[in-house]
Amino acid sequence: MRISTVLLVAIFGVATSAAAHAQDKNKGKADFSPQELKAKVDYCKTCHGLSGQGFRGSYPMPRLAGQQPEYLVNQLDAFIERRRNNPVMFNVAHVLNPQMEKALADQFKDLDPKPLGGAPRDNVAEGKKIYQEGIPKSDIPPCASCHGDDAKGRDAFPRLAGQLHDYIYRKLTNWDKERGQDKAKPDSSAIMQPIAHSLNDAQIKAVAAYLSYLE
């Protein structure tokens, strides 16, 4: 647990400076109506599913339902600042102001649809073991130590419960090409980098399958 304590201190520093930054940007008053917020949420749902449960199109659109608001806002900012690389979400996010980001995050937090499912079930038990115990011989800490026993996340640590298995697979196999892309602005993605790297393909599939069925 010593390693993750160091990492937690690191993320706490990141989260605090992000919060200070958000406060700075937040000085203006909310400048949208409830109707505008609803229209925006409906727009997000065209890709992320009517209950925020995620959707499989030509690629997997992640579940947003029940996501931690702090994590969700961090990711929107990461897309805008191109710390996280995704052209679709850059286009969606760069028009949002901080109050709208926060309001959107609060809307998705309260949704609780059933997981979309669809993963093979034969490696779910192996995935559960990895999630709860980590892989000591590869220096991989228990996922639960950061993402929570129930995988619901906390603050800047994302919820993983019910997330699409194919989305999780793509993120963990592509971490270095998508996250932490601005070397001058290291962010909370650095905490996951060594973990994503150390997991092999079969381990990623197993843990992704396990998580995708959690409610």
Chain contacts with ligand HEC (rule: CB under 6 A)? 4, 7, 11, 40, 43-44, 46-48, 59, 61-62, 64, 72, 74-76, 86, 88-89, 92, 104, 130, 140-141, 143, 145-147, 156-158, 160, 168, 171-172, 178-179, 188-189, 191-192, 195, 199, 207
Nearer to ligand HEC, 24 or 194 (CB): 194
Q: Closest separation between CB of residue 122 and ligand HEC, Å?
A: 18
Burial 21-40 (b: 16+ CB within 10 A, else e): ebeeeeeeeeeeeeeebeeb
Of 99 and 145, the one with the shorter C-beta distance to ligand HEC is: 145
Q: Whose Cβ is closer to ligand HEC: residue 53's or residue 188's?
A: 188
As measured in angstroms, the least distance from the Cβ of 213 to ligand HEC is 14
CB atoms within 10 A of CB 107: 19
Please enumerate in sequence order all residues whose Cβ is within 8 A of that of 209, keeping only pairs 6 or more positions apart, or say none: 119, 120, 121, 123, 124, 127, 165
Name the residue nearer to ligand HEC (CB basis): 116 or 191: 191
Q: How far is the CB of 192 from ligand HEC (least distance, A)?
A: 4
User: Do strands 60-61 and 55-56 pair parallel, antiparallel, or not at all (unpaired)?
Assistant: antiparallel
151 contacts 211 by C-beta, under 8 angstroms: yes
Kindly state the smallest distance separating residue 28's Cβ from ligand HEC, in Å.
19
b/e 126-146 (16+ beta carbons within 10 angstroms → b): bbbebbeebbeeeebbbbbbb
Q: Which CB, 43 or 176, lies closer to ligand HEC?
A: 43
